[in-house]
Amino acid sequence: MSPKPKAPLVCDTTLRDGSHPMRHTYTAEQVEAVVRALDRAGVEMIEVAHGDGLGGSSLQYGMSAVDELDLIARAAETAERARIAVLLIPGIGTRVTLKAAAERGARAVRIATHCTEADVSEQHFAAAKALGMEAIGFLMMSHMLEPAALAEQAGLMAGFGADAIYIVDSAGALVPAGARERVAALRDVTGDVGFHAHNNLGLAIGNTVAAIEAGAARVDGCLRGLGAGAGNAATELLAATLDRMGYDTPLDTFALSDAAEHVVLPFMPFQPFPDRESLAIGYAGVYSTFLLHAKRHGERLGLDPRDILVELGNRKAVAGQEDWIVDVAEDLARAAAATGAPSA
């Protein structure tokens, strides 16, 4: 019998992407419980940070209930085998905050830019390398670029020293063919391609499987799918899927499903799924973190949040433009008042 192929590395992002639906209220005790459960279940990398990465705690992005550096330190103290990773978006996070995270135990950083702006990340890759950290590129909103153009952006990150580069389906707008094509394109640039899925079209697991079949060596998940928009690929489902696909995986499916059910579910504010608004995110191709903002301003102004999301998609809004949601909602409200259109 031939040996099983090695499974892709799974990074769990419950404690970073899950920060969005949690409204950045994670406690140190919750972080410790999640890290302990993931570590025991064989997860090799765990991402911990504000939902918008290092330095994200702000009025614009949402204030953290607990300083993220304290949460990173608690995670690093708890993990026995897993590496703790952080997210850094240039312009939000800085080299200073990255150094502080490394001092508290972070061993990897995912450096995230809009898919057309990889050039802004050079100094951050250099800083990560100087700190001895694993430096991973994160090309957000990857559905907005065709595969060849995305590969060019990945080539910039590879030149900056990226150890791996992720295709990030921030809007959950890709379908399996799009995931395959982008992974294949990036494999010409780097041998270590990752894929980060959102479930706004109900395709998080399907797209992740397509990415793996195309050669992705890293994939992301969140316990019980707890993430922005309609959530992410569920880590426990990824573990089961990898096992059924015949991979040699260190993940314990039942331990992960127990963690999802008994550790994460009790503190979840709601179960992310492709409801009408999050489906609109995938359909319109806008950033998943816009969901709660659009719902809030839609309720405030008597608008259908889907109209706000679709208009943001028409205007090509990207990550980091959360403040634009207010302007778009106000514009739509004025237009509705001028025409006498009924509110939602």
What pLDDT, in 10s, does the model give residues 63-102? Answer: 999 999 999 999 999 999 999 999 999 999 999 999 999 9
On average, the pLDDT of the chain sits at: 93
Q: Which residues contribute to the annotated binding site for Mn(2+)?
A: 17, 196, 198
Mean pLDDT lowest for which of 12-26, 124-138, 280-294? Answer: 280-294
Q: Which of 20, 114, 293, 297 is catalytic?
A: 20
Q: Is there a catalytic annotation at residue 24?
A: no
* Burial class of residue 23, CB neighbours in 10 A (0-12, 13-18, 19+): middle
Q: In the chain, what percentage of residues exceed pLDDT 90?
A: 77
Structural domains of the chain in order of their starting residue, each with its CATH number: 9-267 (3.20.20.70), 289-339 (1.10.8.60)
Rounded CA separation 246/226 (Å): 26
Structure confidence at residue 39 (pLDDT) = 98
Average pLDDT over residues 192-218: 98
Average pLDDT over residues 47-55: 97
Structure confidence at residue 235 (pLDDT) = 98
pLDDT, tens digit (0-9, with 9 covering 90-100), for 222-277: 999 999 999 999 999 999 999 999 999 999 999 999 999 999 999 999 999 998 88
Grouping H, G, I as helix, E, B as strand and the rest as coil, residue 11 is strand
pLDDT band at 285 (very low <50, low <70, confident <90, very high): confident
Mean pLDDT lowest for which of 75-79, 175-179, 247-251, 303-307? Answer: 303-307
pLDDT band at 343 (very low <50, low <70, confident <90, very high): low
Q: Which residues contribute to the annotated binding site for substrate?
A: 16-17, 170, 196, 287
pLDDT exceeds 90 at position 219: yes
Q: Which residues contribute to the annotated binding site?
A: 16-17, 170, 196, 198, 287
- Report the alpha-carbon angle 196-199-202, nearest 5: 135
